Amino acid sequence: MQPYTADGLKDEIARRLQVDKGQKLEEASPKDVYYALASIVHGEIMPSWNKTQQKYKDKKAKQVYYLSMEFLIGSLIKSNLLNCGMLNQTIEALRKMGFHPEEIFAQEQDAALGNGGLGRLAACFLDSLSSLDYPGHGHGIRYRYGLFEQRIIHGNQVELPDYWLKDAYPWENRKEEEAILIHFRGEVHMFKKNDGSLEFKHENTDKVMAVPYDIPVVGYQNSTVNTLRLWSAEPYFPPEENEGQEDDFYHDLEHQHSIEQITGFLYPDDSNIEGKELRLKQQYFLVSSSIQNIIRQFKENYQLPLSRLPEKVVIQINDTHPSLGIPEMMRVLMDEENLSWDAAWKVTTGAFAYTNHTTLSEALETWPVEMTEGLLPRIYMIIHEINERFCRDLWFNHKEKREEIPQLAVIADGRVHMARLAIVGSFSVNGVARIHTEILKNQEMSGFYSLYPKKFNNKTNGITHRRWLLQANPGLAGLITDVIGPNWIRRPKQLISLMKYTKDRPLLEKFASAKQQNKQALANFIHQRTGIAVDPHSIFDVQIKRLHEYKRQLLNIFHVIYLYNELKDNPQLDVVPRTFIFGAKAAPSYYLAKEIIKLINTVASIVNYDKDVKDKLKVIFLENYNVSLAEKIIPAADISEQISTASKEASGTGNMKMMMNGALTIGTMDGANIEIHDLVGDDNMFIFGLSAEQVMDYYRHGGYSATDIYNTDDRVKRILDQLKLGEFGSQEIEFKDIYYNILSHNDPYFVLKDFEPYMEAHEIVERTYRDTYSWLQKSVTNIAYSGKFSSDHTIQQYATGIWNLKQFKEKE
């Protein structure tokens, strides 16, 4: 890519404005400037993009396709500038032009095509694939509406549609000529061919066009540009069809609308299944377009028999949502390419690999047989046959498993079990953190693990340090480079060299000042957004993630209420001032999660204005938590709240992001917290609460008694009674459902059980924070060890351990 100087860029922006819009620079709005800039960057990317694709083709490189219903890519302008090596010049150019760079970057609306962890992970993986020169692409859905926009009105979450495509999206290229036809419904007819084999014809189908929109995925200053291909559903007009009849007009309109609905919106559920036919349609739409596309490209580019496809193609499915890709590949290979069942099965199971992201039972997808069969008759036939063959194999070749067949069968109880389909049809099954993989192997999927021990493997999640440190926290990143040089940017594990400096007091001061600047910036932002002034010298205690009972935002707010009660009892109490910062969206249909949001906001509205509390305690709920907001909050965090009920959080990735930005974790031994603990130890984080074994043991034996704790711990009793008596809230028992969920439903997520240890851990946090020097040492230690959680490391492990993929460093 051609290096731009700041002045060169400035001139080029002015020229574009003139040529494209007939505008003078002085007349241009921030949005005009953003579009001019994005078009320059896109122009820079294009040649490398074409070259990369051509190289893969010429060298017949093996490629990985990451299939996902979600890609939470956020905003791309800054990361594209960074990866193109243009960020600094752009900032300088914009300043010279009299603009505030952040204001220009903020013109891009986040592409919120995901819910949470799973979607963001997919985006981090794409960044690492390109940055490490791996031939790897994403396939997803171009939802017209992304994850809802959250407003908080009178403490309640209100959802607004996220029409992110309202303004043109400058990073996408529509590729109409590569559209693919998708078939739903219809009938399957069976014929006997001359050689005695069967032929299946799928006829009278509802046809939909899948039109791809390509987004470049730019590697970090390496000229590699891979592709994120997002499919959009459009009506199909057969070429031979005559002009529509007048009276068909309204019918056609309705038809068109129902087709466009397929890629209309992202289901807003996180860790929950949504048993709707439209969701099943979306899943098939994604996999059918992707698989047909992958096979077409393989045939065009490799000139190899399809039996050799697994040598050149690997398909990673992001949770079970794309597992219909397995029967879809079978369909294409058998019905369109004339492979036998056995040959097609060998190719399919040689190409697919499955990642599991959650063990929550409510997230395990199953689809009713009638729905699947009605919508996808040919696919259902194939799933049925996969199931028959699998069960037969169990019956005859694994006699010890005969009893377990109902728990293992792909079709059981009138439903298709997607995780079982994914396991049977893939050569690899991985969890996303060590403990999670162990739980899969030994509990949730133990029946399959004993059948196929070699399929199971762990790949602990990661995050791209380019977005989450280099881009989001330039102050800290610059300081790190001053201290250890720039090599950590390409080799993030080299952050470990920072360990040499943990006793260097003047240097620690500089780390403190970088954090302080970020805290000041966040305090300004909070003030501007909410009108509330927070003390930038208070502890910034942060919990940002989807709202779910298992993530236990409730435990956090109980701690806040406890501190508030203490201060009310004794306003002179000597405490380190704290600012609790929350960001969380709840699934629109998740009642208790929404009640918890309301509770947090209600507590905030009382605490923040109570004179007794002064500035010792503030509670901030930042609405509409998304990638861009995370980029503002994470660099300013002192404390990272990772307090899920042990065994429930598969991995977590926010824990890694905050660690990398020097926050100290308070957390349970769950998900990747355990691996953070392996690295930094008890001295550098605050571990508390039940272990996963203890939690699972309680579940096996009917839980513990929440009422006992209520009756014996005065602090707990007081908090719950305050909820019950309406002390927080305008009506009596406003939060009765939270109250009853804990006491009558016996606290399914162990909030009361972990309350005492959590309070103790927070006391240790406070004592530690008072010793600034020791805190800074711990903070730098966390940064130093965080390189292990770069998604570059994770992707290397996928590439060598699952994909057998080579870095493509070929220079021209």
Check if 657 is active-site: yes
**Nearest approach, Cβ of 251 to ligand 8GP (angstroms)?**
35
Find out whether 567 and 706 touch, Cβ atoms under 8 Å: no
DSSP type of residue 471: I
**Nearest approach, Cβ of 259 to ligand 8GP (angstroms)?**
24
Find out whether 791 and 656 touch, Cβ atoms under 8 Å: no
Active-site entry in 378, 436, 551, 552: 551
**Nearest approach, Cβ of 275 to ligand 8GP (angstroms)?**
13
- Distance (Å, whole) CA 558 – CA 720: 9
Sign, Cα dihedral of 564, 568, 573, 579? positive
Q: Which residues bind ligand 8GP (CB under 6 A)?
A: 115-118, 121, 269-271, 319, 357-358, 363, 432, 461, 649-653, 671
Check if 15 is active-site: no
Residue (227 or 320) nearer to ligand 8GP, CB:
320
**Nearest approach, Cβ of 549 to ligand 8GP (angstroms)?**
13
**Strands in 154-280 per DSSP E:** 156-162, 173-174, 180-184, 187-192, 198-203, 206-218, 225-235
Residue (81 or 324) nearer to ligand 8GP, CB:
324
Check if 299 is active-site: no
Check if 359 is active-site: no
Find out whether 538 and 576 touch, Cβ atoms under 8 Å: yes
Find out whether 230 and 141 touch, Cβ atoms under 8 Å: yes
Residue matched to tokens 């959680």: 789
Check if 257 is active-site: no
Per-residue exposure over 68-99, b if at least 16 CB sit within 10 Å of its own CB, e if not: bbbbbbbbbbbbbbbbbbbbebbbbbbeebeb
Active-site entry in 320, 358, 653, 781: 653
Give 748-795 as a DSSP string: TT-TTTTHHHHHHHHHHHHHHHHSHHHHHHHHHHHHHHGGGGBHHHHH
Residue (439 or 622) nearer to ligand 8GP, CB:
439
Which of 78, 348, 61, 377 has the alpha carbon at shortest distance from 203? 377
**Nearest approach, Cβ of 357 to ligand 8GP (angstroms)?**
4
Identity of residue 634: I
Residue (116 or 216) nearer to ligand 8GP, CB:
116
Active-site entry in 417, 436, 546, 559: 546
**Nearest approach, Cβ of 402 to ligand 8GP (angstroms)?**
32
Active-site entry in 331, 357, 436, 515: 357
- Distance (Å, whole) CA 533 – CA 618: 9
Check if 717 is active-site: no
Residue (463 or 489) nearer to ligand 8GP, CB:
463
Strands 352-355 and 428-431: parallel
Cβ-closest position to ligand 8GP: 117
**Nearest approach, Cβ of 412 to ligand 8GP (angstroms)?**
22
H or E stretch covering 366: strand 366-368
Which of 522, 562, 525, 557 has the alpha carbon at shortest distance from 539? 522
Residue (357 or 778) nearer to ligand 8GP, CB:
357
| CA 741 to the chain's CA centroid | 29
Catalytic residues: 357, 545-546, 551, 653, 657
